[in-house]
Amino acid sequence: MSERAAALLPTQGTDYAAALAAPPLTNLRRIGGEMFAWTDRDPGRGPELPRGAVVRHLLAQFAGPDRAVLVAGPHADEVVTALADSGATVSWLLRSLGDAEDAARLHPDVTILAGAAGKLDPAARYDLVVAMDGVERLNSGEGEQLSGAELLDRLAAAVQPDGVLLLVHDNRFGLHHTVRLAPGARERQDAAWYAIDENDADRPASQEQLVGRLAEAGLEVNAAYAAFPQPATPTVLVGEGLLGNVSSPLRPRLGTALSQAYAAGFRGQPVLSDPRRLINRALLAGAEGTVAAAWLVIARAPGSDAAPAITGHELLIGDARGTFAYQVSSAGNEVRTTVLQPLEGPIERCGLRRISEPSAPGADVGYVLEERLLHLAGTDDLRNLRAELAQYDTWLRAQARDGVLTGPAALAGLADVFVSQTGLALLPTRWEPIEPVPLELAQIRAIWHFAVQVITSAQPHPWPVTSSAVDLTAVLLGMVGHSVGKDQLRAAAELHVALEAADQELSLAEQHDLRLRLLAVTPGTAPVDIAGYREVTEALWRQRYEASHLLAMMEWTEQMIQSRDLALSKVDWEVQFYRKTWAGRFLWVARSAYRVLARDGRKFLHGRRQRKAAAINPNDLR
């Protein structure tokens, strides 16, 4: 089509019939500033919708019958449904008119306010204001633009006396920003008409500043958490008592929980550096709050003194989707694990069953086996490495009955084992096999997976840098007197793929891809779960290191061949020289004659012996 024709192309008109046929939306109110031809529900155009079991659990404490709730900004439907199902009167502010119409149809009991936060009725007050999405999507593209600080004030003003604001505030210094490796990310996001402003001095940049800002807005923060690993889907919340406290007995559990959370939250994403190692360093420094993905605060507007106190949690862990959440707390010398919200129903996938009652050892002093092994490997302490592995081997064999393992121990990795003075114990895990797993298979999987982690994440170890995961598995198992074959390794990889597939809901094609990558882990392999740029460059370095040795070997071999060629050539020349002289020719004839005589002589003697024997025993010839 020519441009001239296109310039005159009339656009598609209104489908009045469809518009008239649509039922009226009585629960939708347009408050002004609503956006047309826009949606916040398309992950290709903007950030993910906030969700998560731990936040839902916190919300459930403040929602309920006769409670007025304002949900500010885009949220996952399950969050709003849960609030509405509690009997609360829910209003939901959405800037997109299209999203608002969909929400009004989907949630007939919820009042949908379509527009910008600046257009909210200034007189409206709520018992609970929910802003899990922060304030970033409360401005509309249309009309007046409020600053982040003004939007916080606007939310605070909507909380009535004794009411509560639950706010998740993105940490610009969080690991998720630091490790982000997404060139052109802003250009790909239609929601990013304003880029993240890193120079906004009025925006709270730390948990303390956030608490202070809300205090200025007239709210008192009763509970504050550091949220991990992503602001939109926090699965680990760290509260007062544990946050920044390196001597807390919950520290080892926190390390494991955060490592798992970051593995799940960044799986498949290209990053600058594996966030698990960075968060581990932050934990050692007690600085996890500084690099948290977000801060979640529960702030109350002053009112009567009779308002019930808000109790905080030390450590909350939950699913990204669904309701399952539990807390880990310390009481005296004991560590307790309490399920706060059970699974919505039994979950079985890939021959595995989701664990609904996570167990945890009661002892408070000890260490996580994987961290200890990494430390020993990094310090070349082979003696203690053998001792730790022997202890683990003994413990695992004690868990087996008739050579098979059942329950969580069958799928526990070395990061799931806690070592205390009273012995080894399992930390909370997520999956267990439906059918028992042979002991050897379970052990090989755990050790092999540890080896894969060591190799692909470039952890220091005492063995040759060119060792593969298979090499390391053989060494580690050999330390406790076991050997491993190719078939066993393949079976262990299959079991691991089943575990990953169950946890990540991988398709068959994704499982196949993962299986191939796991079986091909060599020194030059980058991590198979999180594609860290640092780890990729480490893998590249190892490839070059190995290649440099191969080149040196090739050069040496070439020199040797050349040397042998030279020697051979000289010998050949001598041989030819001797063949050409009379003496040489005589020697050659003599040698040939000798060979013929020797050969024929042997034949003659052999035949004569047989004939003599036949003459003595005539029957032997028949």
- Name every residue whose Cβ is closer than 8 Å to that of residue 325 and which is 6 or more positions away in sequence: 53, 54, 56, 57, 316, 317, 318, 319, 339, 340, 341
Question: Using the rule CB under 8 A, is 10 a contact of another protein?
Answer: yes
Piece of 26-34, 62-70, 285-293, 595-603 that binds another protein (CB under 8 A)? 26-34
36 binds another protein (CB under 8 A): yes
Q: Minimal distance in Å, beta carbon 98 to another protein? A: 10
Tell me which of 7, 17, 309, 616 binds another protein, using CB under 8 A: 7
12 near another protein, judged by CB under 8 A = yes
The single residue among 68, 146, 191, 425 that binds another protein, judged by CB under 8 A, is 191
Contact between 13 and another protein (CB under 8 A)?
yes
Bridge partners of 417, per DSSP, are 426
> Which C-beta is closer to another protein: that of 182 or that of 587?
182
296 contacts 166 by C-beta, under 8 angstroms: yes
Give me the least distance between CB of 186 and another protein, in Å please. Answer: 9
Closer CB to another protein, 192 or 307, in the complex: 192
CA-closest candidate to residue 223, choices 62, 49, 52, 51:
62
Tell the residue number behind the tokens 């004939």, with chain if given: 611
Residue selected from 17, 66, 187, 435 as contacting another protein according to rule CB under 8 A? 187
User: What is the separation of C-alpha 477 from the centre of its chain, rounded to a whole number of angstroms?
Assistant: 26
Distance CA 439, CA 458 (A): 29
Q: What is the 3-state secondary structure (H, E, C) of 541-564?
A: HHHHHHHHHHHHHHHHHHHHHHHH
| Contact window for another protein (CB under 8 A) among 104-112, 139-147, 401-409, 569-577 | 139-147
Backbone angles phi, psi at 214, to 5 degrees: -70, -35
Instruction: Encode 97-129: b = buried (16+ Cβ within 10 Å), e = exposed.
Output: bbbbbbbbeebeebbbbbbbbbbbeeeebbbbb
- Enumerate the H helices of 66-136 as residue ranges: 77-85, 97-106
577 makes contact with another protein (CB under 8 A): no
Amino acid at 52: G
Candidates 64, 78, 141, 441; binder of another protein (CB under 8 A) is: 141
Q: Does 582 bind another protein (CB under 8 A)?
A: no
Q: Which residues contact 536 (CB under 8 A, 6 or more apart)?
A: 526
**Candidate ranges 27-35, 342-350, 396-404, 573-581; the one touching another protein (CB under 8 A):** 27-35
Answer for which of 192, 307, 491, 519 binds another protein (CB under 8 A) is 192
Select 200 or 600, whichever has its Cβ closest to another protein: 200
DSSP bridge pairs for 237: 227, 316
Nearer to another protein, 38 or 448 (CB): 38
The two tokens of residue 380 are: 């070349």
CB atoms closer than 10 angstroms to residue 67: 18
* 37 is an interface residue for another protein by CB under 8 A: yes
- Residue of 22, 121, 122, 194 that binds another protein (CB under 8 A): 194
Instruction: Answer yes or no whether residue 8 interacts with another protein by CB under 8 A.
Output: yes
Where b means 16+ CB within 10 Å and e means fewer, 395-411 reads: bbeebbeeebbebbbbb
In the bound complex, what is the minimum distance in angstroms from residue 72's beta carbon to another protein?
Answer: 19
Residue from 35, 70, 128, 151 in contact with another protein (CB under 8 A): 35
Is the Cα torsion angle 465, 471, 477, 482 positive or negative in sign? negative
Asked whether position 4 contacts another protein by CB under 8 A, the answer is: yes
In the complex, least distance from residue 180 CB atom to another protein, rounded to whole angstroms:
20
Rule CB under 8 A: say whether 97 interacts with another protein: yes
* Helix-then-strand count for the chain, H and E: 19, 22
Residue number, 36 or 582, with CB nearest to another protein: 36
Query: CB-wise, 14 or 26, nearer to another protein?
Result: 14
Q: Is the dihedral of CA 177, 178, 181, 186 positive or negative?
A: positive
Closest separation between CB of residue 1 and another protein, Å? 8
| CA atoms within a 13 Å half-sphere pointing along the CA-CB vector of 476 | 31
Between 98 and 407, whose beta carbon lies closer to another protein? 98
Q: Tell me how far, at minimum, the Cβ of 185 lies from another protein, in Å.
A: 13
Residue 6, interface with another protein (CB under 8 A)? yes
- Binding residues among 448-477 for another protein as defined by CB under 8 A: none
* Segment near another protein (CB under 8 A); pick from 28-36, 163-171, 299-307, 317-325: 28-36
Q: By C-beta, is 35 or 301 nearer to another protein?
A: 35
Nearer to another protein, 12 or 421 (CB): 12
The answer to whether residue 193 forms part of the interface with another protein (CB under 8 A) is yes
Strand bridging mode 28-32 / 111-115: parallel
Q: What is the 3-state secondary structure (H, E, C) of 466-513?
A: CCCHHHHHHHHHHCCCCCCCHHHHHHHHHHHHHHHHHHHCCCHHHHHH
Q: For the window 142-181, what string marks contact with another protein as x by the rule CB under 8 A? A: xx--------------------------------------
- 32 lies in the binding site for another protein (CB under 8 A): yes
Binding residues for another protein, how many (CB under 8 A)? 28
C-alpha to C-alpha distance for 275 and 176, rounded to whole angstroms: 8
Contact residues toward another protein (CB under 8 A) are 3-4, 6-14, 30, 32-33, 35-38, 97, 141-143, 187, 190-194
